[in-house]
């Protein structure tokens, strides 16, 4: 099935640093979503994007829906230790409700 | 906000036994429910989609006779792993659609860790 290419696979940063991760696809997506998953728990939605070019913020998080509709990025500013976790991008295509997930970016924040 | 629960949160069973996992929505009616499987350090893979009162639609490669899904009501869906084997050990997560439109009205459960010995 369709795959989303998410990078980087992992990041090790110092507290206070900014973080950027992205997802790309060879085909068009109608929605882009960013989730955070902590160990032993289900993913929690961070930001949902519905329109090409859309830039949306949620606190220290900012995400954008690429103009080509084939990519999206997530930025985290001024990282804190509780930002640790695995961040997944996901998207839907056509009229489907099915979410296609990226492979995740594991974020480690050193205090 | 919406709350989704899963029970049990963890289960360990012997090979050959069946395990039932429940997914409940606590404060909304879920028209559509999705079941995912996540292996360690991997992404979420959709197993099946179910709508209340109808048969589930399984993804390619997912055995419908092995992973029985029952969308019993608008607040409950169950996944039964029949004749479980060690390779079925995984993290199973449900996702419910509150039906208010938009992917941001879909909520994941906290997951169930299945270990088959």
A33 and B103: CB-CB below 8 Å? Answer: yes
The answer, for A85 touching chain B at a CB cutoff of 8 Å, is no
Per-residue pLDDT of chain A (111 residues; tens, 9 = 90+): 567 999 999 999 999 999 999 999 999 999 999 999 998 899 999 999 999 999 999 999 999 999 999 999 999 999 999 999 999 999 999 877 788 999 999 999 998
Scanning every residue of chain B, which has its alpha carbon at the shortest distance from the alpha carbon of A46?
Answer: B104
Report residue B58: phi and psi, to 5°.
Answer: -95, 145
Contact yes or no for A99/A2 (Cβ under 8 A): no
Provide the mean pLDDT of chain B: 89
**Cβ contacts of A97 on chain B, cutoff 8 Å:** 32, 34, 49, 97, 103, 106
Structure tokens at A85: 């976790």
Q: What are the pLDDT digits (tens) for B28-61? A: 888 889 999 999 888 999 999 988 778 899 999 9
Show Cβ contacts of residue A1 under 8 Å, excluding neighbours closer than 6 positions. A100, B59, B60
Structure tokens at A37: 């998953």
The answer, for B54 touching chain A at a CB cutoff of 8 Å, is no
CA–CA separation, A28 and A61 (whole Å): 24
Identify the sign of the CA torsion A97, A33, A82, A19: positive
Nearest CB to A98 within list B49, B93, B108: B49
> Nearest CA to CA, how far is A33 from chain B (Å)?
8
Structure tokens at A34: 């960013």
The DSSP output letter for B86 is: G
3-state secondary structure B8-43: CCEEEECCCCCEEEEEEECCCCCCEEEEEEECCCCC
């Amino acid at each position: 099935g369709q795959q989303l290419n998410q990078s980087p696979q992992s990041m090790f940063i110092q507290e206070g640093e900014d973080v950027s991760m992205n997802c790309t696809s060879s085909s068009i997506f109608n929605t882009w979503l960013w989730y955070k998953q902590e160990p032993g728990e289900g993913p929690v939605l961070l930001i949902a994007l519905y329109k090409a070019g859309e830039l949306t913020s949620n606190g220290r998080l900012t995400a954008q829906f690429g103009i080509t509709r084939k990519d999206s990025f997530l930025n985290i500013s001024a990282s804190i230790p509780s930002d640790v976790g695995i961040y997944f991008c996901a998207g839907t295509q056509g009229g489907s409700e099915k979410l296609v997930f990226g492979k995740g970016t594991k974020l480690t924040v050193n205090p | 906000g919406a709350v989704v629960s899963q029970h049990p949160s963890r289960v360990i069973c012997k090979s050959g036994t069946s395990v039932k996992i429940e997914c409940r929505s606590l404060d909304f009616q879920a028209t559509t429910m999705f079941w995912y499987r996540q292996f360690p350090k991997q992404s979420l893979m959709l197993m099946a989609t179910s709508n209340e009162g109808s048969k589930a639609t399984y993804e390619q490669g997912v055995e419908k006779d092995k992973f029985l899904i029952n969308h019993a009501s608008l607040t409950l869906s169950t996944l039964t792993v029949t004749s479980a084997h060690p390779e079925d050990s995984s993290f199973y997560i449900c996702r419910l659609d509150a039906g208010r439109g938009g992917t941001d009205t879909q909520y994941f459960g906290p997951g169930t860790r299945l270990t088959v010995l």
